Chains A and B, each alone.
Chain A
Amino acid sequence: MTDVRPRIRLPRSASAGDSILVKTLINHDMETGLRRNSAGETIPRQIINRFTCDFNGRNVIDCALEPSISANPYIEFEAIVDQSGDFVFSWHDDNGEVYTATETFTVG
């Protein structure tokens, strides 16, 4: 998929041990596989089928997504930041591509 842009929103600051709200958004059509084109042919399914988030190598959340998730999937969850470190996010596309993003977070 061309021009896929993951977007991450983390709070500005937090103390070690806090649970912070993580917001993620990625542009993707999430083609359900149920639609037909003007010729009447079924448009093949192509969705983000999995989303994961790790912090300092430890898993925060692992999501299996289905075609009924809206286009431009938005996922919001909480993570414990026991120390400063890196968030690594991954979105797995049906076509085999994996889109990733990394965000460094520093505890105050």
Chain B
Amino acid sequence: MQHLKPAKFLAMATACAALFTGVAYADPDLSAELVINEGELTLVTRAPADDIVPNLSERYSGWLFRDAATREMQMDDFENPAMIAVEAGEALWSTADGSAGQSCADCHGDAAESMAGVRARMPHLNNDGVLWSMEDYVNNCRTERMGAEAWRWSGSQMTSMTSYISVQSRGMPVAVQIDGAAAPYWEQGRDMYYTRYGQLELSCASCHEESTGLYIRADHLSQGQISGFPTYRLKNAGIVSIHNRFRGCIRDTRAESFAEGSDEFRALELYVASRGMGLSVEGVSVRP
């Protein structure tokens, strides 16, 4: 049997889907407004494209691609199941842990003040010029200052904490640094984004740039933004971290994926974050 190139396969699959369903491409629901808690906050889900995303006409949040029921779940802090993790993170914030007997609150005080803007800038260079994700900063505090054990990257404690910290930036525009000392990381991430991985030879761009708006089986392909992360995935009925999703995506190309907390994923995270500049941090979103 002739080996089908992935691009051709995708096109063929899409054509087949079109034959059967009559819908191969669908615009995301651009008229939908992401208003939280009946007017408390309106999140920006559309932002202009720029040099970072030359192949996109406009930046869209993943929220726009979801069906009405899923979108609704994110619009109310009560109905949003991710808020359970946020509350758990809030409790962890004030709980002393480690040999120093300190909690996050002891140094950082009220998270609403001290953590405002943090998620919007992640990932960013630490004082030594090394690119770190939010999870790295959390674990660094825990091991170096609290005398506590590091949390697993995607364990429930870490995801609760990153959820809680992210919410403090909800509504703020994604604004990551990609120039100066951050440039090499950004370029590494950009190269990864356009590299085809796995048996299926798919790059991030294959789905999220070339095919955004198309359907892959029944999934409506978004632009692959991470402005909504950490997110409550309906599939997992739990919080999914950025690296966890990267890992899953690459594994779905039938490749041996990179590890959570790897240098590769930190670089990819910086690049993907920059593709969402101007979109609002969604704190904790709801996705299928």
Asked if A and B touch directly (CB within 8 angstroms), the answer is yes
Which residues of A come within 8 Å of B, CB atoms? 3, 5, 7, 9, 23, 25, 27, 29, 70-72, 74
Cβ of B237 under 8 Å from chain A: yes
Q: Which of A23, A27, A71 is B79 in contact with, Cβ under 8 Å?
A: A23
Is chain A's interface secondary structure helix, strand, loop, or mixed overall?
loop
Enumerate 20 A-B pairs (CB-CB under 8 Å) in ascending A order. A3-B88, A5-B87, A5-B88, A7-B78, A7-B87, A9-B78, A23-B78, A23-B79, A25-B78, A25-B79, A25-B81, A25-B84, A27-B81, A29-B237, A70-B237, A71-B237, A72-B81, A72-B84, A74-B79, A74-B81
A71 to B88, CA, bound (A): 17
Contacts of B237 in A (CB 8 A): 29, 70-72
B residues with a Cβ closer than 8 A to A are 78-79, 81, 83-84, 87-88, 237-238
Q: Please, which residues of chain A bring their CB within 8 A of the CB of B87?
A: 5, 7
A23 to B83, CA, bound (A): 14
CA distance A25 to B232 in the complex (A): 15
Given A7-B84, A25-B81, A25-B84, output 16 extra A-B contacts at Cβ < 8 Å: A3-B88, A5-B87, A5-B88, A7-B83, A7-B87, A9-B78, A23-B78, A25-B78, A27-B81, A27-B84, A29-B237, A71-B237, A71-B238, A72-B237, A74-B79, A74-B81
Alpha-carbon distance A49/B269, docked complex (angstroms): 41
| Min C-beta distance of B90 to chain A, whole Å | 11
State how many angstroms separate the Cβ of A57 from the closest Cβ of chain B: 26
Roughly how many angstroms separate A23 CA and B79 CA in the complex, as a whole number?
8
Contact call A5/B78, Cβ cutoff below 8 A: no
By Cβ-Cβ distance, the 5 closest A-B pairs, closest first, are A71-B237, A9-B78, A27-B84, A72-B81, A23-B78
Query: Nearest Cβ distance between residue B238 and chain A, in whole angstroms?
Result: 8
How long is the Cα–Cα vector from A70 to B84 in the complex, in angstroms?
15
Across the interface, do A5 and B84 meet the contact criterion of CB distance under 8 Å? yes
Q: How far is the CA of A71 from the CA of B82 in the complex (A)?
A: 12
Q: Could you tell me the distance in whole angstroms from the C-beta of A84 to the nearest C-beta in chain B?
A: 22
Q: Closest residue of chain B to A70, judged by CB?
A: B237
Chain B contacts for A5, CB-based, 8 A: 84, 87-88
Chain A residue with Cβ nearest B87: A5
Distance in angstroms between the alpha carbons of A3 and B79 in the assembled complex = 19
CA distance A71 to B78 in the complex (A): 15
Quote the shortest CB–CB distance from A32 to chain B (angstroms). 11
Q: How far is the CB of A50 from chain B (nearest CB, A)?
A: 20
Inside 8 A of A9's CB, which chain B residues have their CB?
A: 78
